[in-house]
Chains A and B, each alone.
Chain A
Amino acid sequence: MNETVVSIKGLKKSFKAFKAVKDVSFSVQKNDVFGFLGPNGAGKSTSLRCMLSLIKADAGEIKLFGEDIKDNRSKVLSKIGSIIEKPDFYKYLSAFKNLELLARISGSTVSKSELYDILDFVGLQGREKHKFRTFSHGMKQRLGIAQALMHNPELIILDEPTTGLDPQGIVDIRNLILKLSKEQGKTVILSSHQLSEIEMIANRMVIINKGETLIEGSVHNLLNSSNMVVKFQLDDVSRGEKLLVNEFSDVNVSKASTNELEFEIEKIRIADVAECFVKNNLRIYSIEQKRKLEDYFINMIAEG
């Protein structure tokens, strides 16, 4: 049976007149890599800050490991490693010294050799004694992950950990998260504004926008079992539209231009439509398919 690690219900948070989080609810199960998806300004960081008691929620229930964060803050936080917004450290101290300071208040005993090991694990070997101010953005992220992992937490919360990284850095962080999940059985919450990133790493996700939960579920179900938005480029769009209406009565054409026909259909039926067009001597120049959720998310970001 799945064990619920995080349960958020009806979370609300306003900053004066601005309602940053209006109604966010989701739950995370043990060993999930959970995608927390939403465009910039959707309320992801504010929700995560509420979860970690950095800010006080106006309303709603936050339960971590079955306990209310308000009542058992220290106990709950000792099981969590996190990076919120960006990893900030004391720039006048070395990477090792920074970790040593945070380890001292992590609620666990972390030895010096364990700190060196964790720095090795995130790929910062040889840079332990270098001052934080000399680090590149990618190295700062790695150090951030090191401080999130050093006390061996059960839950890791990473707020947009790949932002500003070069392609190799993104791949490295992605592999690191997968390694943590698969090899060490950690539960990971990963916030992002990139659906593709969540798709590659997460097994479950929630999408929020304008401070509200829109959809939550398995990444596979949400992305692959949903209808597709298909765009056919044809030599005769009006004949194609008539054929579609006659042969596939349940399909509604969403957009038709001079040479393009766009409609929503289940993935397995795209081939049937193509076969029907070919049998009726329609020339197909191209077929473009987008998942409905992806299309929806892209529109959501475009609308801001």
Chain B
Amino acid sequence: MLLKNTWNELIKILAKPRSYIGFGALTLLIGVILVAMKADGKSFISFVTASFEQTLSFNGEILNGNLMAFVILQMLIIHVPLLVALVTGDLVSGEAAMGTLRMMATKPISRSAILGSKLLAGAIYTFLLTLWMAFMAYGIGQWMFGAGDLIVLNNDGLVIIPADDIMWRYFYGFGLAYLSLLAVATMSICFSVFSDNSIGPIVSTMAVIILFTIIGSLDVSSFNSLQPFLLTTHMSSWRSLFEMPVPVDDILNSIYILLFHIIGFAAISFWRFNKKDINT
């Protein structure tokens, strides 16, 4: 029954116009960035590298597909949650508002199977959105700009990663990005279980992400103990894959905390949904 209803959920997601907003927005945003960089990227790169030019000389093409994927992932990882929540935040509350949750709940399918199938469908949608982001940022980036060594600036300074040592980093990088977006999706589904309207969970998800981002960026002592456990802190953990050497322990810590969020939000959702009175 779980798999049958997951298939149902995917059909519903595919039939809803709002499901395509995320794909459309990503195509547009990444497309604009890629075209803009193609047109005027060299001057942008020389502006960024100007401060190093007295001490370093750069050979080869810095502006390449690998750099573009890095820039795009960095720019969008905070914004893509909105596109995810737009669909996942509506999965339970949208049906409650429409009255279709009532129709479903009168069928011989358990509440856990209903919610489980929504979580699975939400996870699949998030995966497809991440895959699209990877295709647009990495695939199209490589096609438009070609491959090359990646130069990134992080806390330890300038890191130069050879072209043949990059692909696996993006593979795991987009994997980590997926995990953090899955945590956002689970959070929005959790909010959705508590609500009977579509807008509330979407707005609440974004509000939490904005709040956590602010808490995470403020250097206030009372927030310091909270920061390592915030979801948003680990949303940019993919960047660690572009350090030399790769801080495996930090990445594993981020994975554990993201998984903890996913399991925690899912557990709260199941607990609440199984008790929920369907009054709409």
A85 interface residue, CB < 8 Å from B?
A: yes
Minimum CB–CB distance for B58 against chain A, Å: 53
B8 interface residue, CB < 8 Å from A?
A: yes
B110 and A74 form a contact (CB under 8 A) = yes
| Interface of A, helix, strand, loop or mixed by DSSP | loop
Q: 8 Å CB contacts to B: which residues of A251-304?
A: none
Task: Please tell me which stretch of B96-104, B181-189, B205-213, B262-270 contacts chain A, meaning at least 4 of its Cβ atoms lie within 8 angstroms of it.
Answer: B96-104
B4 and A104 form a contact (CB under 8 A) = yes
**How far is B277's CA from A15's CA once the two chains are assembled, in angstroms?**
10
Task: Please tell me which stretch of A34-42, A50-58, A193-201, A238-246 contacts chain B, meaning at least 4 of its Cβ atoms lie within 8 angstroms of it.
Answer: A50-58
**How far is B99's CA from A52's CA once the two chains are assembled, in angstroms?**
15
Q: 8 Å CB contacts to B: which residues of A96-126?
A: 97, 101-102, 104-107
A92 and B15 form a contact (CB under 8 A) = yes
A73 and B110 form a contact (CB under 8 A) = yes
A101 and B108 form a contact (CB under 8 A) = no
Minimum CB–CB distance for B18 against chain A, Å: 10
B218 interface residue, CB < 8 Å from A?
A: no
Chain A, 140-157, contact with B by CB distance < 8 Å: what is the 0/1 string?
000000010000000000
A89 interface residue, CB < 8 Å from B?
A: yes
A104 and B8 form a contact (CB under 8 A) = yes
List, in ascending order, chain A residues with CB within 8 A of B110's CB: 73-74
Contact of A101 among B12, B17, B106, B275 (CB under 8 A): B12
Contact of B17 among A74, A77, A78, A92 (CB under 8 A): A92
**How far is B9's CA from A90's CA once the two chains are assembled, in angstroms?**
12
A77 and B15 form a contact (CB under 8 A) = no
List, in ascending order, chain A residues with CB within 8 A of B278's CB: 49, 54-55
B4 and A91 form a contact (CB under 8 A) = no
| Chain B count of residues within 8 A CB distance of the other chain | 26
B38 interface residue, CB < 8 Å from A?
A: no
- Nearest residue in A to B5 (C-beta to C-beta)? A105
A82 interface residue, CB < 8 Å from B?
A: yes
A85 and B99 form a contact (CB under 8 A) = yes
- Nearest residue in A to B275 (C-beta to C-beta)? A56
List, in ascending order, chain A residues with CB within 8 A of B100's CB: 88-90
Q: 8 Å CB contacts to B: which residues of A55-90?
A: 55-56, 73-78, 80, 82, 84-90
**How far is B103's CA from A86's CA once the two chains are assembled, in angstroms?**
9
**How far is B11's CA from A45's CA once the two chains are assembled, in angstroms?**
30
A101 and B105 form a contact (CB under 8 A) = no
Minimum CB–CB distance for A282 against chain B, Å: 58
A91 and B98 form a contact (CB under 8 A) = yes
List, in ascending order, chain A residues with CB within 8 A of B43's CB: none
A101 and B109 form a contact (CB under 8 A) = no
Chain B, 7-28, contact with A by CB distance < 8 Å: what is the 0/1 string?
1100110011100000000000
A86 and B105 form a contact (CB under 8 A) = no
Minimum CB–CB distance for A166 against chain B, Å: 22
Interface range, A side: 20 to 34
Contact of B98 among A76, A82, A84, A88 (CB under 8 A): A88
A104 and B5 form a contact (CB under 8 A) = yes
Identify the interface centre among A76, A89, A104: most chain B CB within 10 Å of its CB. A104
A102 and B103 form a contact (CB under 8 A) = yes
Contact of A105 among B16, B17, B109, B279 (CB under 8 A): B109
A176 interface residue, CB < 8 Å from B?
A: no
Contact of A107 among B17, B98, B107 (CB under 8 A): B107
A93 interface residue, CB < 8 Å from B?
A: yes
From known contacts A90-B100, A101-B8, infer whether A106 and B106 are also in contact, taking CB-CB under 8 Å: no
List, in ascending order, chain B residues with CB within 8 A of A101's CB: 8, 11-12
A82 and B7 form a contact (CB under 8 A) = no
Minimum CB–CB distance for A135 against chain B, Å: 14
**How far is B103's CA from A88's CA once the two chains are assembled, in angstroms?**
7
Q: 8 Å CB contacts to A: which residues of B100-136?
A: 100, 102-110
List, in ascending order, chain A residues with CB within 8 A of B12's CB: 90, 93, 101
Contact of A54 among B4, B7, B17, B106 (CB under 8 A): B106
Minimum CB–CB distance for A110 against chain B, Å: 12
List, in ascending order, chain A residues with CB within 8 A of B15's CB: 90, 92-93, 97
A77 and B107 form a contact (CB under 8 A) = yes
List, in ascending order, chain B residues with CB within 8 A of A55's CB: 277-279
B103 and A87 form a contact (CB under 8 A) = yes
**How far is B106's CA from A97's CA once the two chains are assembled, in angstroms?**
18
- Nearest residue in B to A80 (C-beta to C-beta)? B106
B108 and A88 form a contact (CB under 8 A) = no
B102 and A54 form a contact (CB under 8 A) = yes
A88 and B99 form a contact (CB under 8 A) = yes
A90 and B108 form a contact (CB under 8 A) = no
From known contacts A104-B4, A105-B8, infer whether A54 and B105 are also in contact, taking CB-CB under 8 Å: yes
6 contacts between A and B (CB under 8 A): A52-B106, A54-B105, A73-B110, A78-B108, A88-B100, A106-B107
Q: What residues of chain B have their CB less than 8 Å away from a CB belonging to chain A?
A: 1, 4-5, 7-8, 11-12, 15-17, 98-100, 102-110, 275, 277-279
Known: A101-B11, A104-B8. 15 other contacts (CB 8 A): A15-B279, A52-B106, A73-B108, A73-B110, A74-B108, A75-B108, A77-B106, A80-B106, A82-B106, A85-B102, A88-B100, A89-B103, A93-B11, A105-B8, A107-B109
